[in-house]
Chain A
Amino acid sequence: MKILYSWLKDFIDINMPPEELAKKLVSIGIEVASVEKTGANFTGVCVAEIQKIDVHPNADKLHLVDVNDGTSVMTVVCGAQNIAVGQRVPLAKVGAKLPDGELKKAKIRGVESNGMLCSTDELKLPDDGVDGIFLLPKDAPLGTDVAKMFGEPDCALDLEIVPNRPDLLSHFGIARELSVALGLPLRQPKCAQLKGQGEALKITIENPADCQRYCGRVLKNLRPAQSPDWLKRRLLAMGTNPKNALVDVTNYILYEMGQPLHAFDLAKLEGGEINVRRAREGEKFMTLDNKEIALDPGVLVIADRNRPVALAGVIGGLYSGIADDTSSVFLESACFNPPLVHVTARRFASRTEASKRFEGGVNPEAVELACRRAAELIMEICGRPQEDMSEVRDVYPVKYAPKAVEFTPEQINRILGTALPDEKIKAVAAPLSSGLDTASLPWKFLVPPHRRDIETRWDIAEDVVRFAGYDCVPASDTPCRLPGQEMPAVVEDVELAREELTALGFSEVMSYDLISSAEFALLGGDEKSQPSLLNPLSDEWKLLRPSLLPSLLRAFGYNERRGVRTAMLYEAGKVYSYVNGHPAEKLGVAGLMAGSYPADLFWRQGEMKETGFAHIKGAAERLLARFPGCKIDISTGGKAPSFMHPKLYAEVVLNGKERIGYLGKLHPLTAKAAGLKAEDLWVFELSLETLALRRNRKHMLKVDMPSQFQSSWRDISVLVDKGVSFADMERCAAGVKAQAPLSVELADLYEGKGVPEGKKSLSLRLTFRPQDRTLKDAEMDEAVKAVLEALSGKFGAALRS
């Protein structure tokens, strides 16, 4: 909200620089977004005409300009490129006081300049959009003081008012707050309280809960007029364009007193009556901005005998609006129910300066004064006698009853942690109240009608500390009681995942929980069965993500477009779905690998590999191993979803029954649809929520002490059919009845020269370590033979010599 410094002075005699005023406002909780000086903040600048332009003898880009100020011709040096002979321009003569300092005689590149032609920026006037010298109207009289053309210096402060203080949404409101803060007297808005004599309209309020007070006044035989300059200037400073005196005055009072007014064209009101009532079902209404809307009883309207003429507190109707030639008006000043106005304004997307104030709640006690002051201002401008004005018709069914809040100084100090003396609390609180009774405890604070926000002693504590200054709050050394140090288990699980994946070389990314339809489509599936936003910002952020995959692809894409080929990324975050019809969130973790391992570029070429299934499986298994009590199977051969490679795909199965994720290669078409260049992308995604739920939280590490006997190993190479799976062979070898090996490791896998077509050669390292002895050679031979027999029996494996 804009506030003019000069306007404040109508109500309070402040005399401090605007910057200091801004500081004071901030200290009492009114944020100042900007302080903008307006008007002419300079002297010694006059209108002059350019008569001749020569090139500067010593500088190509400078000109020597002869200018005539009406009494003499002088030469000035000027660097601007937009000048031409015949233009009228602002000339600052030597000695002129400009916003940035006094102008002194100067030699510029060896030529004396007797003044300066000014730009809007140099004069700190509103930007004219021209690059260079400020061009004045052709008819500006030579020698005229330019400052006179732009009004008195003033200052506009842009304030941010918090929603619980609608009483500050006006110049008078700010002045009232400042009078407490500065201890200065406050002047009431000027009003002669003229009596009217003309005929008034009958006003009926259907339900007092909808409208606490309604004042109306009829003004007739008005001379259509424009507002005087001083009023226009003030409205312009508020960002409101002047229209005509009637409309302007209603706006003016809004900015001055915070009371929204509405003027109806009296001639258009039918039946000589005003009804404040709920709209009827299906009733139609044309707004001032020419939109037809259908109403229902949820909306409060102002109606004449036959139809609604305004949405109460929000916007007027086209039909009864004021035109430039309107000569009779009905002036409304009212106090409507805040939630009703709020709902109506939101519903018809028409938040106006008026609705903003009604939504917070206006001061019912000031409704009549605003009506009178506006009427008197209109009569003054339109120059009409009192006879053409009715008396104010004031319908005030439920009178404002002053509320008293009880408190003790000790309670205030307890809330704040302060030790303010009673006298101090009294001195601060008294001017804020309509009466403070401190005769006995508890004290009684009479809430003034404009402060609807004060309801309890906590509100009073806030005002006390606001005006006493927050510096009075000490740092306390009260010992605190410590409740238990609990931590949600799932926080630990996320930390486990982060720790493991970071150690493996994955970098963590964070993405919005929201994705687009296109991103959703990458995964396939029905968009309707996915939780989404009712009011998305844009189509890009519309659905709650069902998977972390689109987020990882987006993050990878961002980097790929910046030249990255190799990356290891992961995200731990929420994914969403409907569970029993309710949107539900679940914690997940997903990783992506692209490019080469261990790096994009490595001079020891032999050690560099393109990322493959083994990498992503290794990462997933390492992560899963962090969750004790979770038996994990990587199950292959299942049907891959359409976004994954049909063969290079496996599912992660928990404790033999629960599918908790997948891993493998992304389908190349998915990568393409995601706009990626890379075709080989390896991903895993796991339900951290399920792992967290199933893991054994009571698990305590018990060390398995190594046998004191040496382990021994043997390597064997066997030939098997290509289709035989290593996992099956491993299970078979480890399961032999006799002396089973402790581990079966794959030492080498070979196909090609020397191996028959359709076969593969596996070198297995069998390690044996009984707890009670070291195996003798003969026993080893026996054990290896048992393994070989098992393998050949089950897979037709042949020992390769």
Chain B
Amino acid sequence: MTPQIWQEKCAEIRARHGAAAASAATLADLEKAETDCLGRKGELTELLKTLKDFPLEDKKRLGPAGNALKEELAGLFAGRRDSLSRAELDARLSSVAEDLSLPPYPFPKGHRHPLTVITDSMTGILMRMGFAWADGPYIENEHHNFDALNVAQHHPARDMHDTFYVKPADGHEADERLLLRTHTSSVQIRYMRGRKPPVRIISPGRAFRSDRIDASHSPVFHQLEGLCVDEGVSLADLKTTLMQFYTALFRQKVDIRFRPSYFPFVEPGVEVDFSCVFCKGKGCSVCKRSGWVEVGGAGVVHPNVLKAVGIDPEKYGGYAFGLGIERTAMLLYGINDIRAFYENDLRVLSQF
């Protein structure tokens, strides 16, 4: 065999077996084609064996070419094997028939109560604004709930709060009557007593009034109290604080309006309205076509309150506010009946 014929044979094997590798339809066909070419008795193997009969000069030249061809063909067979086995696996996977529209696994889903959700939002904003959190008991005495808050014993303002009184244990009639706090403002007194300004707190929590129960009144309800006492604190600071608070809560620019009102522990006392975010002031059922929504009471801390806790009203000023938590949730979530918060209907709860 001349080197030239040897090379022609190589080219012929390359063409024929390369085609066989590419056209093998099954792994078995491919196996056979590969053995025919590269097996112990394969055509290329046999051809390579003949190299030993060539002169050294030719061996040096033909040897590497022959090995390169062997590698190339081995690569072609391996490549074809990969694609055939992938196709075979795909065919097997494709035979799986499962209805993927079936309901998924019902991991039990828990929900926070809407009042927890709204309280979290409100306190979150106010704490980022630098308010600390203070807490107070539900069972209060008249001093913390009324007297220290400038609501005198026989002042008609006490009638504004229909108070639940708590029965003392037999044989333990206390000097002072105990009650369920009618507002979170009692925390003002508990917190300020024994502290020096600056004071800057919020106190969200329950309050109780023996109101009739209807769509907008509940004997148990929640308020968020705010209090800030320091030198030079004024009504204007209150306005800014509430404006920033509502702007953050409603995630849009909100204006604040004050209307004169009366709460014994603030003077001046105001009702706070915010510009209706639901209709942008155009008038809707939420704002009763006024463009403003009432959210709570506020004002400048009454000098008598500061005096009651030993803070000098000549030196320090302050503001306080009390926001209705249910009311805020009702506005924000479009709930039209306060009773919904205490019925605990899972159809409502599961939306939170």
Q: CB within 8 Å of B: which residues of A?
A: 26-29, 162-165, 338-339, 342-343, 356, 359-360, 414-418, 456, 458-459, 461-462, 465-466, 470, 473-478, 480-488, 490-491, 498, 501-514, 528-529, 531-537, 541, 544, 555, 558-559, 562, 564, 567-569, 574, 576, 578, 581-585, 597-599, 602-604, 607
Contact = CB atoms under 8 A, between A and B. Distances in A.
14 contacts: A29-B261, A339-B153, A415-B300, A459-B267, A470-B270, A473-B236, A478-B232, A478-B234, A531-B166, A533-B166, A559-B346, A581-B172, A583-B139, A599-B106
Contacts of A603: 102-103
Nearest to A535: B165
Interface stretch (B46-54, B56-64, B252-260): B252-260
A508 B112 contact: yes
Nearest to B156: A163
Given A165-B262, A462-B260, A487-B133, A415 B235 contact: yes
Contact of A602 (B106, B112, B127): B106
A638 to B, nearest CB: 28
Interface centre among B160, B164, B174, B200 (most CB of A within 10 A): B164
Given A483-B198, A581-B171, A509 B349 contact: yes
A485 B219 contact: no
Contact of B267 (A29, A456, A486, A541): A456
A508 B116 contact: yes
Contacts of B239: 417, 473-476
B206 interface: yes
Shortest 9 CB-CB contacts between residues of A and residues of B = A417-B236, A505-B108, A29-B260, A417-B234, A339-B154, A462-B268, A581-B172, A162-B262, A502-B110
Given A360-B156, A458-B303, A465 B268 contact: yes
Contacts of A507: 110-111, 113, 346, 349-350
B220 A512 contact: yes
Interface centre among B115, B259, B346 (most CB of A within 10 A): B346
Contacts of B157: 163-164
Contacts of A343: 154
Contacts of B258: 470, 473
B288 interface: no
Contact of B200 (A338, A480, A504): A480
B137 interface: yes
Nearest to B301: A458
Interface stretch (B24-32, B75-83, B336-344): B336-344
A673 B260 CA distance: 51
A481 B230 contact: yes
Contacts, number: 256
B242 to A, nearest CB: 10
A731 B181 CA distance: 50
Contacts of B166: 531-534, 544, 583
A498 B268 CA distance: 39
A478 B237 contact: yes
Nearest to B113: A508
A486 B201 CA distance: 9
Nearest to A607: B105
A359 B158 CA distance: 12
Interface centre among B108, B210, B350 (most CB of A within 10 A): B108
Interface of B: 102-103, 105-113, 115-116, 127, 130, 132-135, 137-139, 153-157, 159-160, 163-172, 174, 178, 180, 198-200, 206, 208, 210, 212-213, 219-220, 228, 230, 232-237, 239-240, 243, 257-262, 264, 267-270, 300, 302-303, 317, 341-347, 349-350
Contacts of A578: 169, 172
Contact of B110 (A163, A475, A506): A506
B300 A582 contact: no
B345 A559 contact: yes
Given A506-B110, A559-B346, A532 B167 contact: yes
B133 A486 contact: yes
A342 B258 CA distance: 31
Contacts of B127: 485
A505 B108 CA distance: 5
Contacts of B303: 456, 458
Given A507-B349, A507-B350, A585 B137 contact: yes
Given A415-B317, A458-B303, A476 B234 contact: yes
Given A532-B167, A569-B344, 11 more contacts: A359-B154, A416-B234, A458-B300, A475-B239, A478-B234, A480-B200, A483-B132, A533-B164, A581-B169, A585-B138, A598-B106
A667 B18 CA distance: 81
A608 to B, nearest CB: 9
B192 to A, nearest CB: 12
Contacts of A473: 235-236, 239, 258
Interface centre among A163, A474, A490 (most CB of B within 10 A): A163
Contacts of A581: 168-169, 171-172
Contacts of B233: 478, 480
B198 A510 contact: no
A535 B211 CA distance: 12
Given A470-B259, A505-B109, A599-B106, A512 B236 contact: no
B237 A480 contact: yes
